[in-house]
Amino acid sequence: MTIWNIILESNTFNFLVLVLLIAFLMKKLDVASALENLKNKIVKRIEDSKTEKENALSELKKAEKAVENLDNEIKEHYEFAEKNIDGVIKQTDANTLNQVQHIEQNADIAIKNEEKQISAQILKATATKALSGAKEKIIARLNEHPELHEKYINEAIEDIDKVKL
């Protein structure tokens, strides 16, 4: 029994039992395939990361290329806007000037029309007063000299006779 005791107490035996136990567990738990699957997942993640990195670099280059002429494009848009603004200002000035001239012409026409109406009203009022004054003078003269009635009537008849001939 001493050999058996020595074997049981020796580290070699314990190591051998431990190796057998690990080998049995590895076979039972299929550690090799689990390690292989884990290795494959890690390799796939590394490849995916490389692909993502390449895609990101490609997108970065596209973005850099798109922004490359941004200063020139901004400058062109600014110059275009300035030209448009100048054109709009000139057009607005021209339109305003035309409208001012049109308003002035309309005002002149309105003033002339108003002057004509006022002149016509003054002439009418003056004529009405003159006729009224003349009528009053004629009536007064006829009242003073009744013989003129007949004279004027005879003259009117003569004028009518001349027209008939």
pTM for the predicted model, two decimal places = 0.38
What tens-digit pLDDT sequence spans the chain (165 residues)? 577 777 667 777 778 888 888 888 777 777 678 778 889 999 999 999 999 999 999 998 888 887 887 788 888 888 888 888 888 888 888 888 899 899 889 888 989 988 899 988 998 888 888 888 888 888 888 888 888 888 888 888 888 888 765
DSSP for the chain reads: -HHHHHHHHSHHHHHHHHHHHHHHHHHHHTHHHHHHHHHHHHHHHHHHHHHHHHHHHHHHHHHHHHHHTHHHHHHHHHHHHHHHHHHHHHHHHHHHHHHHHHHHHHHHHHHHHHHHHHHHHHHHHHHHHHHHHHHHHHHHHHHH-THHHHHHHHHHHHHHHHHH-
